Amino acid sequence: MFKKIIIIGAGIAGLTIGSFLKKRNFNNFRIYEKSEKKENVQSGIQVPPNASRILGFLEPRFFNNNNFIKQDYLKFFSQYSSGMYAKMKISDVVDDKTPYLTCYRNNLLQVFDQFLGANDIFYKKKVVQIKKDHSYSKVIFDDGSEDFADLVIFADGIFSQFKKENNLRYSGYVAFRGVIKNFFSENFDSFNSISLWSGKNKHLVSYYTNQDNDISFTGVTKDYENELLKDITINFSNKFSTEKFKTDFKGENKNLKEITDNVQAVLCWPIYYLKKNIFFEDNQIYIGDSSHGMVPFQAQGAAQAIEDAYILQDEIFKNVTTNLGVFFTKKRSDRVRNVILRSIMNLYVFHASFFVTKIIRNLLIKFLSVNFLLKKYYFNKLFNYNPRNTSYYF
């Protein structure tokens, strides 16, 4: 077993692995985070069943409060016509104990507060360099201080600076995100639904994030107008023109119009991904976005970070030391690759723009929605992945 573990980054990946280490009584670890604790950007997040299952291992029923919404349906619309073309019940393909959830990202992070305290997470500590000796690594911070560990886990997100090769790529797509507080609609019954509007080279997703009726929306469009967006600083709090967002996304659908009419502020997020998935280099392990930052069109980025964290801590407790990176890669690479493929495929499905491809897309989604067995087959491996039952690896 490792004597001391350092985790770089207190995002979803870092907090998940830290919480599991703590829960299983391994106390000799430290999480170093470059920012302050408070996350200012208000945005929603989808927590699919494969992630809620693992978070449930930490704290069963962590979602039984006003900060989480259980989602029963996926609803599909077109931006250019009224009415919905498919309504897919997703709650019937997953266990009630592992629901499809939505919430504010901050509320998801709060789940970890009961496990991790001031002796575990150190904020405003930016790691700038790692120096390796044969049996330990020296971690050096921007304030000149140092720490040592025999295992360093990189959970420092998609812009991780520590790999030998920089394989960060701009996707050419931009996300526009925001929330509408206390959104109430008489004609749009969507409290337990995730709604998706497809358009030409764009789509918009919305869902409720809490019992106070706050709605989160994410519009994604091809960056065909403003190549400069890729150069704006990547802090995910760049304000974008609300009027321009409304013009681009309003469309003809009455429910969509109702949402866009209520938008008051929009933040802009250029979408990046990593060309190559790297789970380890030498004795350094990468988890979450630092390993396999992906385009977010399957809403699985955080979920895969949570899966990584669970699998890695499990290997650590199995006393795997010398070949930890190899064992970890073996258990994660196929699954992550499959999720990334689904994510990319979704982009083409959501953005289909030719008449014939749109008709085929709508028919296929309709068919998937009404055919229980097909739906179960399609979602089973993704949502019912259970790391405590190895038959679910894929």
Ligand X SMILES: Cc1cc2nc3c(=O)[nH]c(=O)nc-3n(C[C@H](O)[C@H](O)[C@H](O)COP(=O)(O)OP(=O)(O)OC[C@H]3O[C@@H](n4cnc5c(N)ncnc54)[C@H](O)[C@@H]3O)c2cc1C
Q: Can you give the binding site for ligand X, defined by CB under 6 A?
A: 8-14, 32-35, 45-46, 126-127, 155-157, 175, 177, 218, 269, 271, 288-290, 296, 299-303, 305
Report the 10 Å Cβ neighbour count for 280. 19
Return the number of the residue (205 or 256) whose C-beta is nearest ligand X: 205
Return the number of the residue (285 or 366) whose C-beta is nearest ligand X: 285
Q: Which residue is closest to ligand X by CB?
A: 11
- Beta strands across the sheet bearing 168-180: 84-89, 73-78, 193-199, 202-208, 215-222, 168-180, 266-274, 238-240
Q: Minimum CB separation from ligand X for residue 372, in Å?
A: 25
DSSP letter string, 303-329: HHHHHHHHHHHHHHHTT--TTHHHHHH
Q: Minimum CB separation from ligand X for residue 355, in Å?
A: 29
Say if residues 266 and 238 touch (Cβ distance below 8 Å).
no
CA distance 22 to 137: 22
B/e letters for 14-26, b = 16+ CB within 10 Å, e = fewer, are bbbbbbbbbeeeb
Return the number of the residue (177 or 361) whose C-beta is nearest ligand X: 177
Return the number of the residue (5 or 299) whose C-beta is nearest ligand X: 299
The total number of residues shown for the chain amounts to 394
Return the number of the residue (78 or 102) whose C-beta is nearest ligand X: 102
Return the number of the residue (13 or 285) whose C-beta is nearest ligand X: 13
Q: Minimum CB separation from ligand X for residue 45, in Å?
A: 4
Q: Minimum CB separation from ligand X for residue 363, in Å?
A: 27
CA distance 265 to 12: 25
Q: Minimum CB separation from ligand X for residue 156, in Å?
A: 4
CA distance 392 to 394: 6
Return the number of the residue (80 or 162) whose C-beta is nearest ligand X: 162
CA dihedral 349, 352, 357, 360 (to 10 degrees): 40
* Residue 221, C-beta contacts closer than 8 angstroms, at least 6 positions apart: 173, 174, 176, 201, 202, 248, 249
CA distance 17 to 31: 10
Q: Minimum CB separation from ligand X for residue 328, in Å?
A: 15
Q: Minimum CB separation from ligand X for residue 340, in Å?
A: 11
Return the number of the residue (248 or 289) whose C-beta is nearest ligand X: 289
Residue type, 249: F
- Please name which of 25, 17, 2, 3 lies closest in space to residue 291, comparing C-alpha atoms: 17
Q: Minimum CB separation from ligand X for residue 360, in Å?
A: 27
The residue assigned the tokens 């907090």 is 15
